[in-house]
Amino acid sequence: MSHDDPPGDDPNDPTSSDPFSGLPFAGDLFRAMGAAGPEGDHGRQIAMSVATGNRSEPNVDPMERIEWERLVRVAELQVADRTGLDVVRGHALTIEPVTRAAWASRSFDALRPLLGRLAETLNEGPAFDDVPMGLEDDPTAAWMQGLLASINPLIAGVMTGSLVGRLAVRSLGTYDLPIPRSDDSLLVVAPNVADFGSEWNLPADDLRLWVCLHEAVHHAVLGVPHVRSALTDLLTRHAGAFRNDPASLQELMDDLDLAPLQELMGGLGPMAGPEAMMQLQQVMLELQQAISPDLILGAVRSPEQEALLPRIEALVAVVIGYSDHFMDEIGGRLVTNYPMLTEALRRRRVQTDDADRFIEHILGLNLSQEQVDRGTAFVAGVVDRAGDDGLRRLWANERHLPTPNEVDAPGLWLARIDLDD
């Protein structure tokens, strides 16, 4: 198990005590069906469960909180001075080192509008209303259709909780994914930061200051009203544009051998014991391994999303390139081990596993090295031609946001905004 895995059962261990540990999303759904809790709270419970692996976490040391607050003051002042952006929104920026469970619970509320829309869209449509054509007389298909109809109210909350919980396992702070937030309180996942520092043998204060700079720069950029509005609108439209097309999904399933699942489901009753549930886990795991996440996304992605992706990728690439540029300026002066820290942390950003990459892609984000390099090249091109003053014009107003073509040709962007001004 890597340091990015939550404490608990190893999801790749077939002897795990959790029969659903190897089944992301599907396993979370089965756990939610058996979980106790008030109506509508399943998603939050799932987020916290996934984040912690159902294990208790120690509280964050109060002295660590004081140290984070000291360092974020430094980051806040430096970022405001170098970028000219408002890092705060009417009051002082605060930072809270929290446990994985606390980050999951707080982020569940912050991200619910976006992730909830995503989950609702994926669960809309005829896939949950009709038995697929040709399977009307198949008792297994009818059983599955009835099951899906009965648990459909849970699915949106569970999917949201599962996504947030998996983000909590890996995230260092609020802005590991460049998704705008409305809250002025930055959250850092203290155990994740500590684990990463230990793995790379990084000085604790240097690592904390690096994270504070990263959070403060992204908070400033994504807090610009028209930037926040533009990116939120693009991501929300992407989340709401998945097509739940049974025909496309049926094409994906045609090459799969569903006979073991049909046989197992035929004998699975309400009193099924642990052995039957373990068999179900094994069959589901084999099906999951046979289906590429990219194929799943391809089966539900719509033309509208394909049209939105270039605009999302362009804006995100520029946000990352801009943030990295000013972090390099500030961090190079303030952080003793800045080059080593930056190499480790930026490598971490793009070297994610399939599950993390799937979460990024389902949200419409592409944080590949190619996209990072694209944003870096745009910023370098602007600075070469117009210096940091030219770069600061990037967020002056909505008309200054670069188009996808301009991201690859910074000279064209500068020429256009000169004409606009």
Instruction: Report the residue count for the chain.
Output: 421
Q: Which of 34, 6, 4 is nearest to 19 (CA)?
A: 34
pTM to 2 decimal places: 0.80
Distance (Å, rounded) from C-alpha 394 to C-alpha 38? 46
Give the list of residues 6+ apart from residue 379 with CB closer than 8 angstroms, or none: 318, 321, 322, 324, 325, 391, 410
pLDDT the model gives residue 354: 75
Rg of the chain on CA atoms, in Å = 23
pLDDT the model gives residue 419: 86
109-153 pLDDT, tens digit each: 898 888 888 877 766 654 444 444 554 555 555 555 555 555 555
Query: Which tokens belong to 254?
Result: 């045609």
* pLDDT higher than 70, residue 396: yes
pLDDT the model gives residue 126: 47
- The lowest-confidence range among 15-19, 78-82, 350-354 is 15-19
Domain ranges of the chain: 26-256+291-308
* pLDDT higher than 80, residue 317: yes
59: left (phi over 0), alpha (psi -120 to 50) or beta: beta
pLDDT the model gives residue 92: 80
| Residue range 69-82: mean pLDDT, rounded | 96
- The lowest-confidence range among 33-42, 80-89, 162-171, 177-186 is 33-42
19-74 pLDDT, tens digit each: 344 445 555 544 444 443 434 467 888 889 889 988 999 999 999 999 999 999 99
DSSP H or E run through 185:
strand 185-189
Helix (H, G, I), strand (E, B) or coil at 394: helix
pLDDT the model gives residue 118: 81
For residue 76, what pLDDT band results from cuts at 50, 70 and 90?
very high
322-374 pLDDT, tens digit each: 999 999 999 999 999 999 999 999 989 888 777 788 888 889 998 999 999 99
* pLDDT higher than 70, residue 259: no
| Residue range 231-244: mean pLDDT, rounded | 90
Q: What letter represents residue 110's amino acid?
A: A
Other CB atoms within 10 Å distance of the CB of residue 101 = 21
Query: Which tokens belong to 71?
Result: 């360092």
pLDDT the model gives residue 147: 53
* pLDDT higher than 80, residue 287: no
pLDDT above 90: percentage of residues in the chain: 52
Distance (Å, rounded) from C-alpha 58 to C-alpha 40? 27
pLDDT the model gives residue 64: 95
